[in-house]
């Protein structure tokens, strides 16, 4: 595969990953907003709960659609959980900084946080979770 074709394939996969992330974000943000607005929960733990909920959606769609994985779920889900765990820690840290240190509205903080965690999640899942031996990157 040429360098150009490889870059196009990577971009195509990133676009799929972002689309899946958008679907997952609907669950994440829905739970976040519901917990904050309806249940009176604090924004940072509500965001963490939303991230965990969104991760469940994310795994299923990325396994099948984005990465077309042939790995056994037992193997892939453990790696995905590790990547998602780091993503959850980053999400919680960035939300805390945005809401408590900067004083930004929780939804603005979540939008910025989502963009930052997206980069980590794509790299971790592409190059580790769903990576197969012998695959050319």
Domain residue spans of the chain: 3-129
User: With 70 as the cut, is the pLDDT of residue 135 above it?
Assistant: no
pLDDT tens digits along 74-124: 999 999 999 999 999 999 999 999 999 999 999 999 999 999 999 999 999
**CB-CB contact of 53 with 23 (8 Å):** no
Determine the pLDDT at residue 94. Answer: 98
What is the tens place of the pLDDT at every residue in 36-89?
A: 999 999 999 999 999 999 999 999 999 999 998 888 999 999 999 999 999 999
Which of the four pLDDT bands, split at 50, 70 and 90, describes residue 137?
low
> How is residue 48 written in tokens?
């963490």
Q: Rounded to whole angstroms, what are the CA distances from 69 to 35, 36, 51, 82? A: 34, 36, 23, 17
pLDDT higher than threshold 90 for residue 134: no
**Contact (CB, 8 A) for 101 and 39:** no
Q: What per-residue confidence (pLDDT) applies to 48?
A: 97
Cβ contacts of 28-37, under 8 Å, gap ≥ 24? 28/53, 28/54, 28/114, 29/107, 29/110, 32/106, 32/110, 33/107, 36/106
On the question of pLDDT at 136 being above 70, the answer is: no
């Amino acid at each position: 595969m040429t360098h150009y074709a490889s870059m196009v394939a990577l971009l195509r996969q990133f676009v799929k990953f972002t689309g899946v992330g958008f679907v997952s974000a609907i669950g994440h943000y829905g739970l976040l907003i519901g917990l904050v607005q309806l249940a009176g929960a604090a924004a940072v733990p509500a965001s963490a709960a939303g991230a965990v909920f969104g991760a469940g959606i994310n795994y299923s769609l990325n396994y099948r659609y984005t990465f077309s994985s042939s790995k056994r779920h037992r193997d892939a889900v453990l790696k995905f959980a590790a990547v998602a765990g780091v993503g959850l820690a980053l999400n919680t840290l960035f939300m805390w900084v945005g809401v408590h240190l900067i004083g930004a509205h929780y939804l603005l903080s979540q939008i910025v946080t989502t963009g930052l965690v997206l980069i980590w999640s794509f790299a971790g899942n592409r190059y580790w979770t769903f990576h197969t031996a012998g695959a050319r990157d």
